[in-house]
Amino acid sequence: MCFPEGYRPLLGAHETEKAIKDAKDIFERELSGALRLSRVTSPLFVPSDSGINDDLNGVESPVRFTVRNLGAKHMEIIQSLAKWKRMALADYGFQTGRGIYTDMNALRPDDDIDAIHSIYVDQWDWEKVMDAEERTLDYLKATVRTIYASIKRTAFLLSEDFPVLRDTLPEEITFVHSEDAAAEYPDLTPQERERELARRYGAIFLIGIGYGNPPHSGRAPDYDDWSTDTGSGHHGLNGDIIVWDTVRSDSLELSSMGIRVDHDALLRQLEIRGCEERKDLYWHRRLLSGEYPQTIGGGIGQSRLCMFLLHKAHVGEVQASVWPEEARAEARSHGTQLL
């Protein structure tokens, strides 16, 4: 079952389309102004041998193709722009305290297809130059609070035009470390811990994604810094923004972000994951030679945020993709449709 019992959409089809655009327009303005981000154009595909593409958890296979007029050069559809953005900040000469954001459209055919997952991924990818001295948990938390405030303002402004869309978020986001969550709920799975914490607090930032044996969740070794010791036995300068979805009565991850690896963190994490051969790839050579600035960045799901703000039960109500026929039939039985 994809839809909660008794679910009915608060907005009709035409209102939904207008609200999607309003939500995206408002949030882009709020985010770019708060973090001082300039909009840029980004690629849909990159060379397969560049090391630029994001391998996510390391098991997903990107969509690949060859370009006939470039000697059958192998290319691949991006899975995210985590590494490309940092390279762009260096090549464009952005200064400390400024950054970029872009529309990221990706295909992840290995992803699940359900109420919150699709093989089509659309998100705001953003990246900002920071001082090396700001590689601290306090700086990460301050940035998270800024993003959360942008989400809260978007919810308020959207409710001005669509009063039926009530803001369900708490005033403040709560920070929880994944190692503390594991200690508090040793018998729960990582997903069950997220659900319990999101239900309790309404909105959390779960710190330290990728570290541990086993880790709370997978994270590639070459963009977020998840292995740095931040004190008190904790590791990680990254995390996820997770909210409590009152429509589905479940947790919903809206964003993955973090302070990016420096020279030492990259080498350490490549060794931890047993993929030290990546040091010889184009992107990695440039980082290790000191060409890239220290940055913080992440991705914020566009369809996920719209689904949450518009009180939708299925991501297919705000995103055009492919869905199982049984999911489409279930949607029709609840007075809605999957795009």
288 phi and psi angles, rounded to 5 deg: -65, -25
Give the Å distances, CA to CA, from 245 to 108, 169, 307: 24, 9, 10
Strands 99-107 and 37-39: parallel
State the pairing for strand pair 203-207/238-245. antiparallel
Q: Residue 312 and residue 309: Cα distance in Å, rounded?
A: 8
256 catalytic, yes or no? yes
Q: Which of 22, 125, 225, 240 is catalytic?
A: 240
Distance CA 176, CA 111 (A): 27
Determine whether 123 is an active site residue: yes
Q: Which of 253, 321, 328, 337 is catalytic?
A: 253
**Catalytic: which of 108, 135, 195, 219?**
108
Residue 253 designated active-site: yes
Q: Is 319 a catalytic residue?
A: no
Catalytic-role residue among 22, 30, 54, 245: 54
Bridge partners of residue 75, in order along the sequence: 47, 65
Helix residue ranges per DSSP H, the chain? 13-35, 82-92, 137-161, 178-184, 190-201, 263-273, 282-288, 302-309, 325-333
- Give the pairing of strands 99-107 and 229-231: unpaired
Alpha helices per DSSP H over 137-296: 137-161, 178-184, 190-201, 263-273, 282-288
Catalytic residue among 79, 80, 123, 251: 123
Dist CA 128 CA 96 (whole Å): 8
Catalytic residue among 118, 217, 251, 256: 256
The catalytic residue positions are 54, 108, 123, 240, 253, 256
